[in-house]
Structure 1
């Protein structure tokens, strides 16, 4: 370990197949390009991505601590163990970035300096299921957590949501997620899919992605292009059943989860996103990085910050999505948009450091 290098530490629960997990690896590369020694600390061993060899990886398992009664007490005890581990195995990081709920909960109990939260999603919507008699308690818990350190939101919509939901409780800014254009272009050449003339959709099989609305809208078009759906998740059976119910066998095809989906994107006529909530949808920026047209629902945060108005559709609206799908199938190129170079990893990492320096 080089004692002269500055240290960046990124903390996340695991590296299992989500957008935030991929952001951690890409942002780590940005800090590496700035000359930092970069460490990733996770609390579960799960990995579904090729790990960037420029980064150092650590696991401190949370599972044994689950036996400790009381979530707050448990998090405090585990946070103490995390601090000891960081100081012993990593050193004194110049910047610590906490990602997603589990890490945020732990790091809010940490005594380490230089911590910032990276807010990947609209908190009010991700905690919507808890809008019960417990909602006031939950909100207070989140205020206590996120007021302890500065917050970096991945889109303007996420920042507005945090302030509206929890109040102006901490220094806060928006820095969009990093996109490694060079790496994506290279990965997109890995193979050529066995499909031609198709639309691609990439997203976990969960409610927010609204695969149901996508399929119902697609069923109302002339289906002149096949629809390839990449992903996995708990709603897979319902999606398979809906494909059969709508008579879309052979037209809408579930291709499974791929740790490298970029060849499917590169060879698509266009990409579609139909979510009713997002933070900063990586799939849009990544498609733009390899020059593929994208149409998307105009959900609360993300798509409208990357795409022109003509590429956007109403959320949860089968008719709106059908109309845009039909237009794109006739002429995908009318929905081409430019990639924003300010999303390159080294430029995004610099913005993180500038924000931290201004709030020390």
Structure 2
């Protein structure tokens, strides 16, 4: 009997939430006995795939065009290349999960069966500028991209946002990102050793996320500067705002209390050894690092940003976005009573549950 085939498609195996979802889900499907394939457009590989997962690359050679008509032609050509490659080298997948807007657009032109788009963020936020400049055109474009195949959103808030923006024009559902507790705990026992960064066990506060505007590092540093700063603040991640955030730490007089560790392929030992994890985002599609902290039984507080944290944490663990005073107060309160801000992981987020939800949703296509 031929093993069923699962295909997961994304731009590259970079170290962000969507890529963590793909690697976790791929491993879950392998354990369930599926033939699992991951197909990327770029060769960047910061995330490690299970050795039983087959990794493929179909190069995207075209530049990004200013004219949409040229971009459409380029993406149609890429979709055709992907279709031919899959048919010749993989076969007929029983389920294809397509991650990230760029791939969602490309695969709207695909002729392959059983495609489900996975939305990792809120479209209204992702396309805020374009919706402001050209709302009718942008909405029409998004209706095409996300009306062609069924869509799964990683939070209820992101799904409501999708429907509010383009209407209920395709089948939609909410499927949270999977959290592999066993693998996360295993990874937490591996390098990097926190001592190499001058850190001590439960002796620091941590933030994990790319250094870009949506992650709210400016608010976090301003709030942290107003605390008693008994513990240093550790920032894990890379991004275009790194120099700006480092300059801000100097301006606030907290440079000696803030450690910039850059991207870490395995952040779990750093999370596990921290006293408190803080998420300060302006918006999220899900908030992956929250459930990872929960898996490691680390206290976690967050901004009540759209759209993930309020679905993952109790109200006492949340503060309004942009309220620096409230974030300062919550950091101080959490440091005074850490156990109060531990929140249990929802067991429905374990990988096998999530894998079955995608299969069920895809089978009803």
1:53 aligns with 2:59: no
Are the structure 2 counterparts of residues 288 and 74 from structure 1 closer, same or farther at C-alpha, using a change threshold of 3 Å?
Answer: same
Give 1:343 deviation, angstroms.
1.0
Which position in structure 2 is the counterpart of 1:131?
131
Give 1:346 deviation, angstroms.
1.4
Give 1:144 deviation, angstroms.
0.9
SS at the partner of 1:131?
A: helix
1:176 aligns with 2:182: no
SS at the partner of 1:39?
A: strand
Instruction: Give the TM-score taking structure 2 as reference length.
Output: 0.95
Contact 1:11 1:41 in 2 (8 A): yes
**Counterparts of 1:104 and 1:296, CA distance in 2:** 29
Which position in structure 2 is the counterpart of 1:98?
98
Within a 5 Å distance, the mapping from 1:22-61 to structure 2 comes to 22-61=20-59
Contact 2:41 2:58 in 1 (8 A): yes
Give deviations 1:279-312, integer Å, cap 9, x for gaps.
1111000010011010001111111111111101
Which position in structure 1 is the counterpart of 2:6?
8
Give 1:330 deviation, angstroms.
1.4
**Counterparts of 1:64 and 1:105, CA distance in 2:** 15
Answer with 83-92 or 49-58: which moved more. Answer: 49-58
Give 1:273 deviation, angstroms.
0.1
Give deviations 1:100-128, integer Å, cap 9, x for gaps.
01110111000011000001000110111
SS at the partner of 1:168?
A: coil
Give deviations 1:188-231, integer Å, cap 9, x for gaps.
01144121211000000000001000000000111111111100
5+ residue gaps in structure 2?
Answer: none
Please identify runs of 4+ aligned residues in structure 1 that moved more than 2 A: 64-69, 131-135
SS at the partner of 2:256?
A: coil
Within a 5 Å distance, the mapping from 1:244-259 to structure 2 comes to 244-259=250-265
Which position in structure 1 is the counterpart of 2:226?
220
SS at the partner of 1:250?
A: helix
Answer with 340-349 or 115-124: which moved more. Answer: 340-349
**Counterparts of 1:256 and 1:65, CA distance in 2:** 28
Which position in structure 1 is the counterpart of 2:185?
185
Which position in structure 1 is the counterpart of 2:165?
165
Within a 5 Å distance, the mapping from 1:83-94 to structure 2 comes to 83-94=83-94
SS at the partner of 2:354?
A: helix
Which position in structure 2 is the counterpart of 1:321?
327
**Counterparts of 1:217 and 1:320, CA distance in 2:** 8
Give 1:49 deviation, angstroms.
1.5
5+ residue gaps in structure 1?
Answer: none
RMSD over aligned Cα atoms:
1.4
SS at the partner of 1:70?
A: helix
- Pairs aligned (count): 357
Answer with 135-144 or 178-187: which moved more. Answer: 135-144
Which position in structure 1 is the counterpart of 2:354?
348
Give 1:66 deviation, angstroms.
6.1
**Counterparts of 2:11 and 2:288, CA distance in 1:** 19
1:272 aligns with 2:278: yes
Give deviations 1:21-45, integer Å, cap 9, x for gaps.
1111111112112211000001111
Give 1:133 deviation, angstroms.
3.5
Which position in structure 2 is the counterpart of 1:236?
242
